[in-house]
């Protein structure tokens, strides 16, 4: 789950190697709730896009219980796998900044917030947005998603 700064480590309840083990069930349940509230016509086209590979991995591991679509991310090697079947028309995002989403989408609506007590601070209070009406084709949006950190 990325490297926490020294300041974040100091605020964490547990060290990162333990803190990264918490919060995944809550995140998955929150995303599933957002997904289930989508109209059926959007649900069939929806994709899940996360800020980092840890979130995407957890959703891919635990999301099948909720019948979630595969999660994608532009972080590290997840970027290399591309957007898959995601057409980009409707995205549920985890941990993305609203301003970044507004650059690529005409509609950005905060649908929920992921909270967890024992996870790393950067994984707590995460926004979950539903974005619609892409301003660019999915391939162009994907090129902007790449980040190695």
Per-residue model confidence as pLDDT tens digits over 35-82? 999 999 999 999 999 999 999 999 999 999 999 999 999 999 999 999
- pLDDT-above-90 percentage for the chain: 77
According to DSSP, residue 2 is labeled -
Does residue 20 sit within a domain?
yes
Q: Which residues of 110-145 are buried (b: 16+ CB within 10 A; e: fewer)?
A: ebbebebeebbbbbbebbbbbbbebeeebeebbeeb
Does residue 127 sit within a domain?
yes
pTM: 0.89
Q: What is residue 9's predicted lDDT score, i.e. its pLDDT?
A: 46
- pLDDT at residue 8 greater than cutoff 60: no
Does residue 115 sit within a domain?
yes
How does pLDDT run across 79-99, given as a tens digit for each residue?
999 999 999 999 999 999 999
Does residue 1 sit within a domain?
no
Quote the number of domains for the chain.
1
User: CA-CA distance, 118 to 63, in Å (whole number)?
Assistant: 21
Domain that holds residue 139: 6-79+87-145
Does residue 125 sit within a domain?
yes
């Amino acid at each position: 789950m990325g490297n926490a700064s020294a300041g974040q480590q100091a605020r964490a309840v547990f060290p990162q190697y333990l803190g990264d083990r918490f919060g995944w069930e809550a995140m998955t349940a929150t995303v599933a709730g957002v997904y289930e509230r989508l109209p059926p016509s959007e649900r069939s086209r929806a994709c899940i896009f996360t800020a980092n590979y840890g979130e995407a991995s957890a959703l891919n591991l635990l999301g099948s219980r909720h019948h979630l679509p595969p999660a994608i991310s532009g972080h590290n090697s997840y970027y290399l796998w591309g957007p898959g079947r995601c057409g980009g028309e409707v995205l549920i995002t985890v941990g993305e900044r609203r301003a970044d989403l507004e650059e690529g989408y005409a509609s950005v609506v905060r649908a929920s917030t992921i909270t967890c007590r024992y996870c790393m601070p950067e994984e707590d209070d995460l926004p979950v947005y539903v974005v619609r009406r892409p301003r660019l084709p999915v391939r162009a949006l994907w090129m902007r998603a790449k980040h190695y950190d």
